[in-house]
Structure 1
Amino acid sequence: MLSDQSPFGGVIGAFLLAFPALFSIVNPLGAALIFSQVMADRSPAERAMLSGRVGLYSLLVLLVSLWVGAYVLNFFGITLGALRVAGGLVVAIRAWSLLMAPEEHEARKEQQAAPASDAEDVAFFPLTMPFTTGPGTISVAITLGSARPAGGAGLWSFFVGASAAALLIALTVWVAYLYADRLIALLGQNGARVVTRLAAFLLLCIGVQILSNGVQDLLAPVFRGAS
């Protein structure tokens, strides 16, 4: 759980928690390489249009998951502590797979994006979901939403910071897809994998931290009853 004495500090803390986690799971640089391959037969104008739409749709998916996802699960009786433990495990497991085998992640992304090569309306499906912001991204965003403070000014500071991170991720997706050919020339496949592994390690640490907070939430009543 995030806590800070000043609202501004809470915004910064939430941003620093959310941005590396979302960047790691969305992986806009690696996805841009696949986007360039799948969209190779499209005109520059079409690719620019699709880049903007995917960025916008990705922002909407991220914001809904961050703002609403945890509350929906709470409505069905899932406690915040249980959500944090389960979400932290999911985030850590996904980060581990990204860290150890980015090639498998790339192959899965290529399969998800394949239908976009010859279809007409592809901005939302499959380019946004599941290619850019699929189930993995949604689960990470919901888990981040579960890290919110209980209420008060800290809650709004958290959502402002997390929403700013989602906005920056969406802008990164737009720019990366728009200039995918230049990214290929600059990074190449190996460079993208290096960035993916570095980001995956940060995601692993964040998953462990959220899991730790969840364990503390679940065990707090036990320790209070024993004292």
Structure 2
Amino acid sequence: MIEHYISFSLSAFVALFAMINPLATAPIFLGLTGHLQRPLKNRIATQSIVIGFVLVALFCVLGNLIFTLFGITLPAFRIVGGLLIIMCGFQLLNGQDNSVAVPSHEDSEESLNSALSIALFPLATPVIGGPGAIAVAMSYSADAGIVGVTCTIASFAVACFITWLVFRFSTEVVRFIGKGAIKLISRMMGLILAVMGMQMLIVGIHGAYMLFPNLP
């Protein structure tokens, strides 16, 4: 029995770690926070990981109940998440200064709140706790019992901790590759974000069609 749960946990960890993919999300984090001071970057990193973890953990425990209670389907969640990440991707790709991608510096308090909003979107969701991670976590925790749900959440916690370490050391990466490269990375990650969002949108639309095949 113990070997089964060890194998189960390792499988869940690999799937969730691949879904987050810290090496791919680190440049996104750099592109969004490269202009901020290290204490604020570390705060954003911690908040994004905590929020993303709590979000996925809640769906592991209450996912089916939440979807049923509010009449939400996973395809609908994917469609909305895809549209949001496409919007953020285009903003990064065009180098626009806005409250989502790059906070304003006109007012310090407003800028701080805007910067911290990055922790919620797009880092906590959909980059860390997005539809993909939620879907994987729910698929592992569904009908797995209390121990299975606990193993899934623990596996995701380890993946989040590794991602947090990658985020925390992003400053050294910025210093090593330079500000010019960060701008290039920001635009490249904008393109990747837009493509990721489009992929989520396509999967969501396909899933919606499978749920309602008789709709015109």
- Per the normalisation by structure 2, the TM-score is 0.65
* Whole-Å separation in 2 of the counterparts to 1:170 and 1:131: 15
Structure 1 residue identity aligned to 2:16: A
User: Contact 2:49–2:164 at 8 Å: present in 1 too?
Assistant: yes
The 1:77/1:99 distance shift into structure 2, 3 A limit, reads same
* Whole-Å separation in 2 of the counterparts to 1:161 and 1:133: 22
Choose the corresponding residue for 2:120, options 113, 130, 133.
133
* Whole-Å separation in 2 of the counterparts to 1:213 and 1:158: 24
Query: Matched residue of 1:60: which SS?
Result: helix
Indicate the residue corresponding to 2:195 in structure 1. 201
Choose the corresponding residue for 2:178, options 177, 184, 187.
184
Structure 2 residue identity aligned to 1:193: R
The 1:15/1:156 distance shift into structure 2, 3 A limit, reads farther
The one-character-per-residue Cα deviations of 1:19-45 (angstroms, maximum 9, x if unpaired) are 37x939x9202113332xxx4xxxxxx
Query: Matched residue of 1:27: which SS?
Result: helix
The one-character-per-residue Cα deviations of 1:139-168 (angstroms, maximum 9, x if unpaired) are 522633244121316644543443334333
Residue pairs, 1:16-165, within 5 angstroms: 16-19=18-21, 23=25, 27-35=28-36, 39=37, 47=38, 49-68=39-58, 71=62, 74=66, 77-79=69-71, 82-103=72-93, 106-109=96-99, 113-114=103-104, 118-119=108-109, 122=112, 125-128=113-116, 130-134=117-121, 136-140=122-126, 141=129, 143=131, 144-147=133-136, 148-149=138-139, 150-152=142-144, 155-165=149-159
The 1:97/1:204 distance shift into structure 2, 3 A limit, reads same
Structure 1 residue identity aligned to 2:28: N
User: Contact 2:89–2:189 at 8 Å: present in 1 too?
Assistant: no
Unaligned runs of 5+ in 1: 1-5, 40-46, 223-227
Structure 2 residue identity aligned to 1:11: F
Amino-acid identity (%) = 11
Q: CA RMSD in A?
A: 4.0
* Whole-Å separation in 1 of the counterparts to 2:204 and 2:157: 18
Unaligned runs of 5+ in 2: 1-6
Query: Matched residue of 1:113: which SS?
Result: coil
User: Contact 1:15–1:165 at 8 Å: present in 2 too?
Assistant: yes
**Higher mean C-alpha deviation, range 109-118 or range 143-152:** 109-118
Q: Does 1:169 align with 2:159?
A: no
Indicate the residue corresponding to 2:13 in structure 1. 11
User: Contact 1:98–1:196 at 8 Å: present in 2 too?
Assistant: yes
